Structure 1
Amino acid sequence: MDEELKFIIDSAEESMEKAISHLERQLANIRAGKASPSMVQGVMVEYYGSNTPLNQVGNVNTPDARTISIQPFERSLIPEIVKAIQAANLGFNPMNNSDSVIINVPPLTEERRKELAKQAKAEAEDAKVGVRNDRKSANNDIKKADVSEDEKKNAEVDIQKLTDKHIAKIESILEVKEKEIMTV
């Protein structure tokens, strides 16, 4: 196969892989009923005049499936952490027990589960669109390549196989996430 076509196919595959890893990161932020440190990942705490990520001012743990525990590195930060979690509007009610901050994660309602499943589906659809856009741009690059028509056709077939493989991978990732969300 021509060097130019190989480069086009490799870069298309790399872009498709990035779409999948982006999807996995997005789905990790969708809560599925179990407590997870990633649920408070975006919380910023006022620390000596600057906003600092929560995981840099304390240890975030999940002692069980319904609890998130935050052990600050400095006890004086506890009120700031509580304030930051409330300000983040995550729907949690943090409790201060003088050593740490405890968050009880409420179980999801059926309606909320369906909402989250819909959100996961939308993220998966965005990833599929990204993969299809990568296919389109690769096919355009192939058409511009200075190679024979047969080589172009073979490269387009390879790109389509890559696309199908990545779309199937997205489907399976979504299926696992939906099952996780809908499990009570």
Structure 2
Amino acid sequence: MFILENRVGSTVRLIEGDGRRPSFVEHARRVLPDGASDDIAVTVAAEMAAQLGPSVAATPEETGNRLAAGILTANGFRLDDFYGQTAWLRPSEIADFTYYIRGAPAPHFVNIKGLDIAVPMTDQIAAEMPVEVGISHDHDEGNTSCIAPCLEEGVRVILEGMLPHPSEDEVVVFDYEKLIAPKPADGPIRRP
């Protein structure tokens, strides 16, 4: 379901797969009436799903990809073109910026539980793999990013506003551990 904030032009699509594989199939699409509530969208989705019937069991890899796609879509991301590649995108609350999550575009080494783990170049995302998460300016080279140890932590970085929006043409890669480190209190803690 793609429910738009102004409730105009929202759609429900009945799909199999996650959009990144050739086996992706869109069985049906229905545009919701302007102003349709979430309850109406859920009802339409249930009616459409009943039309599909039972599907072929997914492989473990497909199940992992679908889990990742579910996490991302539930948090407002959609798979789209990203500078000639693909990434999961979400509009920023500040105009002209876009949040993105993708498999790391080049090998990076991420320290996870004391081990340096290489993040491979990939457009596939699984919930348990490290991902690149960032904010990109829509019209210049501005970009801030980090490598999160898993998809849920990457989503958390965005939802909790841990990354700053970049200045014009600024490109900064932050250390994930420093982003999530507790912030010092604003002065001493006084106890009665």
Bigger share in strand: 2
TM-score range, shorter chain: under 0.3
TM-score, normalised to structure 2's length? 0.20
TM-score, normalised to structure 1's length? 0.21
